[in-house]
Amino acid sequence: MSPLRVPISISARHIHLTPEHVEALFGPGHELTPLQELSQPGQFACKERVTLVGPRGSIEGVRVLGPTRPETQVEISRTDELRLGIDAPIRASGALEDSIGLQLVGPSGRVALERGVIQAKRHIHMSPEDAERFGVQDKDWVMVRVGGERGIIFDDVQVRVSPMYVLDMHIDTDEANAADLKPGDTGLLIKGPATVQAEPDD
């Protein structure tokens, strides 16, 4: 892999739950069952799945990711939103102010979520060593070029640096499908927005 390339993970719709919501959906005393480790250390896909119910439609079998979090967060694509009949904001993980709600249904109960539904803003996880190699810093904005026949340059990709992180760009299924990306594909990191001809915002 070229030293400027970043591995890409395609995030399907998923949900992070509080311990209270795990019990409400799966029964008293229930704990999440890890199924598979994810690219970031300590994160895992669980056996548990929930149904999302919106005003227009519902989506079954949405994967729960662990470990539990202090606030429940649902990450869906624009395609999912159109199916559910909702319009969630584009947000970084954890930035849930003024996000919207949804009904969650599990095998043992329901949760009327008041907020926590977002479209995840694309981002790159990297270690301080990777950041130095790329010449970028935590919270920098970069561009990433991906794809073959349907090449796309993602124009607002935020870098997140932590000693806990493994190099990985996260995009959602709409972003992957638009560029015809497959699991295992990589992107080329391009610094700045300055390399592309810009026009003042209008």
Closest residue by Cα to residue 175 from 22, 12, 55:
12
In the chain, DSSP assigns E strands to 5-11, 14-16, 34-37, 44-53, 58-66, 73-75, 90-91, 100-106, 109-120, 123-126, 141-146, 152-161, 168-172, 186-191
* CA 1 – CA 16 distance, rounded (Å): 32
Is residue 174 involved in binding a copy of itself (CB under 8 A)?
Answer: yes
Residues 38-77 that bind a copy of itself (CB under 8 A): 77
User: What string marks each residue from 73 to 112 as x (binds a copy of itself by CB under 8 A) or -?
Assistant: ----xxx--x-------x----------------------
Part of the chain binding a copy of itself (CB under 8 A), chosen from 35-43, 125-133, 143-151, 158-166? 143-151
Is residue 13 involved in binding a copy of itself (CB under 8 A)?
Answer: no
Given 153, 166, 167, 168, the residue binding a copy of itself (CB under 8 A)? 153
Given 21, 122, 123, 125, the residue binding a copy of itself (CB under 8 A)? 122
Task: Give the shortest CB-95-to-a copy of itself separation in angstroms.
Answer: 12
Three-state DSSP at 40 gives coil
Q: What is the DSSP secondary structure assignment for residue 148, as one 8-state letter? A: S
Q: How far is CA 61 from CA 46, 49, 52, 92, 119, in A?
A: 12, 5, 9, 24, 18
Give residue for tokens 């311990």.
Answer: 19
Task: Give the shortest CB-178-to-a copy of itself separation in angstroms.
Answer: 4
CB of 32 or CB of 189, closer to a copy of itself: 189
**187 DSSP β-pair partners:** 6
Is residue 177 involved in binding a copy of itself (CB under 8 A)?
Answer: yes
Are 156 and 171 contacting, i.e. CB atoms less than 8 angstroms apart? no
Task: Give the shortest CB-85-to-a copy of itself separation in angstroms.
Answer: 15
**59 DSSP β-pair partners:** 52
Given 104, 119, 159, 169, the residue binding a copy of itself (CB under 8 A)? 119
Residues that bind a copy of itself (CB under 8 A): 2, 4, 77-79, 82, 90, 119, 121-122, 143, 145, 147, 149-156, 173-175, 177-180, 188, 190, 195-197, 199, 202
